[in-house]
Amino acid sequence: MSVDPRQGPLTDELRCYYDDERHRGLRPHCHGVAVVAYGTIRLCATCDQMRSAVGKATVPRPVPGHELTQLINAAHTVAHAERQLTAAVRAARHTGASWSQIGAAVGLTRQAAQQRWAHR
């Protein structure tokens, strides 16, 4: 799965502190995606449950790590499906399908199908 360059800073923000080569041995059960932050330290749910008394006085701040990870994954799924759909339309056109037939197959009008895929 290719990562959009714009997602790099976001995915870095979603990383658990222990999801790193230097710290992985300390928490082998780390889930990797942060759900809470204590100051600048972000932790996944497992690492948060395992943390020691150090920092217990710090108020946790929720981090939308899980939700944003789901959003990134859904966007990748949609992009993949769009590529498959475009390839299928090209194949259908190559074998002689009309824009009306293609539109009907995907729930669009002839004109909408043609406008969406004729230039691809």
**pLDDT at position 119, please?**
87
CA distance 16 to 26: 12
The pLDDT of residue 56: 72
pTM here is 0.63
Average pLDDT, 10 consecutive residues per value, the chain (120 residues): 63 83 79 87 88 73 86 91 96 97 97 92
Q: What pLDDT, on a 0 to 100 scale, did the predictor assign at position 19? A: 87
Helices H, strands E: what count in the chain? Answer: 5, 3
Alpha-carbon gap, residue 60 to 34, rounded angstroms: 12
Q: Where are the domains of the chain?
A: 1-63, 67-120
Q: What is the pLDDT, as a whole number, of residue 8? A: 67
Helix (H) or strand (E) holding 42: strand 41-43
Q: Read off the DSSP letter of residue 15.
A: B
- How high is the pLDDT of residue 7? 64
Q: Which residue has the tokens 């008394």?
A: 53
